Amino acid sequence: MRATAPDERPVVLTVAGSDSGGGAGIQADVKTIEATGGFATSVVTSVTAQHTRGVESTHVLPVAEVRAQLDAVFDDFDVRAVKTGMLATAEIVDCVAERARETDVPFVVDPVMVAASGDRLLEPAAEDAYRDLLAAATLVTPNADEAAVLTGIDPDDEADLRRVGERLVADGAEAALVKGGHVDGDPVTDVLVRGAERGNAADGGGGSDGGEGGGTTGREDDGGERDRTVVETVSHERVDTDATHGSGCTLSSSIAARLAGGATLSAAVAGGIDHVARAVRYPLAVGRGPGAVHHTVELRDEGARERTREALVAVRESEPFAAVGESVAVATPYAESPAGVVSAVDDGIAGDNRALESGGDDVGVVFGRETPVVDALLAARERAPTLRVAVTVTHEGDVTTAVDTLGWETVSVEGSDETGDTLADSGMAAGDGTGAPHAVRLGGDESPAVVVVAPDSERLHERLTALVEAADSRREP
């Protein structure tokens, strides 16, 4: 008989409605919680006939059934965090608020009121009932539409988002993450406002640990003390997609799972925002509507690392690379930074390193190393995230001119700015018209180099061959 090795995971409870389409609600919550390291339990508040295009019908469960589910979960599990979504009625909101007051675990409240399709998911009478639940919340995560319902402030800029957060904290919530996705502008800015310890106005009290973009605000009461808030902002580039179904559920679930695992509120919020930003950039093409966010994107990206290593080895051992390649990098399917790109370097470098023998040279396979070829690949992926492979070309022919001859689309990487971020500019508007670069120009005019990029090794080989032939044809006999 074989022994077992139990795996302990922090238990996270989601209290929300069911989405038969799988993109939002309980289904999105469970996928996200499991992908973020938690064990998902659930309390279903309502059943919806729903898909990527909208909500066809809704059946709300009796509050007694909701209460029975809550009792069952808390009776058996050591729940470390709770997130709420669609609560539907005032009676269910009151039931959940009562549990929040009785339970000493983080409560993340996503005040789901209207679906992305515009369908109403909350009875008007339940909007008033939210006041007690928000007062018991660790974090409330409204979007702009929900913020207007909860506070009467219709936000259209960052200052308004901050005012909403301060109002919600003043009304009792420990913190509010006011999401900027429904506010016009690029980048998207989310504002986290959280309460700080009360302090005497004369000595300044409290303080900010929000880092860049953080700060404290306050108002004095009759006793000369100040109710303080700490404000932090997180900005990220807007993604050009309509496939945002489930984004709010994914964000709040990701934050709750991180809190259950012991993360601070600031770290949980930052991690959750990164998670949903990637989930939106790599959506799931399902259904006849715009699609759904990729709830398990981080888990699947992590699972692709070994295959990505193998792809790098295959490229290095190929004839085209042996003939003209100098350095190579391969990205995981959802890579957003050097942490998701593997490159080949001299063996013995510390890090995620495995020995590889190719062409008699001992090299190491390393994720997370910042090199020119890695920078080039990431710059190209900003234009076309389907690009996975990059090779720096060394050849006696004039490869830079050959790129022009082939009419390839390019991106130019001139270096890094003061923060270390890669500076990339779009190059030619030629090529196949898809907007996906074929190559990256490195180093400007003084020391030009060419990095060929492609979605896979087969197309990489085709492009390397075409480039070498074009470069050779320009050499003097």
Structure confidence at residue 471 (pLDDT):
82
- Tokens 């909007």 map to which residue? 127
Q: Give pLDDT < 70 ranges for the chain.
A: 114-121, 197-227, 345-363, 395-397, 414-434, 444-448, 474-477
Structure confidence at residue 420 (pLDDT):
38
- Tokens 């860049």 map to which residue? 212
Tally of residues, the chain: 477
- Do the Cβ atoms of 284 and 158 come closer than 8 Å? no
Q: Which fold has domain 11-300?
A: UDP-N-acetylmuramoyl-L-alanine:D-glutamate ligase (3.40.1190)
DSSP type of residue 221: -
- Tokens 């880092």 map to which residue? 211
* Residue type, position 32, single letter: T
Please state, in angstroms and rounded to a whole number, the distance separating the CA atoms of residues 139 and 155: 19
Structure confidence at residue 344 (pLDDT):
84
- Do the Cβ atoms of 391 and 407 come closer than 8 Å? no
- Tokens 């409290």 map to which residue? 206
Using the Cα atoms of residue 315, residue 318, residue 322 and residue 324 in order, give the sign of their dihedral.
negative
**CA torsion angle 10 13 19 22 (round to 10):** 0
Q: Secondary structure of the chain: what % helix, strand, coil (to 5)? A: 35, 25, 40
From the centroid of its chain, how far is CA 330? Answer: 21
Ordered by start, the domain boundaries in the chain are: 11-300, 304-473
Phi and psi angles of residue 96, each rounded to the nearest 5 degrees, phi first: -70, -40
Which H helix or E strand runs over 172?
Answer: none
Helices (H) and strands (E) in the chain, counts: 14, 20
Structure confidence at residue 325 (pLDDT):
79
Upstream peptide bond of 124 is cis (omega within 30 degrees of 0): no
Which H helix or E strand runs over 73?
Answer: helix 63-76
Q: Is 471 helix (H, G, I), strand (E, B) or coil?
A: helix
From the centroid of its chain, how far is CA 6? Answer: 30
* Residue type, position 460, single letter: L
Going by C-alpha positions, the residue among 436, 457, 452 that lies closest to residue 395 is 452
CATH superfamily of 304-473: Class II aldolase/adducin N-terminal domain (3.40.225.10)
* Residue type, position 249, single letter: C
In this structure, which long-range contacts are made by residues 128-133, counting pairs with CB atoms below 8 Å and at least 24 apart in sequence? 128/90, 129/90, 129/93, 129/94, 129/97, 130/93, 131/171, 131/172, 132/93, 132/94, 132/97, 133/84, 133/87, 133/93, 133/96, 133/97, 133/100, 133/109
Structure confidence at residue 271 (pLDDT):
95
Half-sphere exposure of 96 (CA within 13 A, CB side): 34
Q: What is the CA radius of gyration of the chain?
A: 26
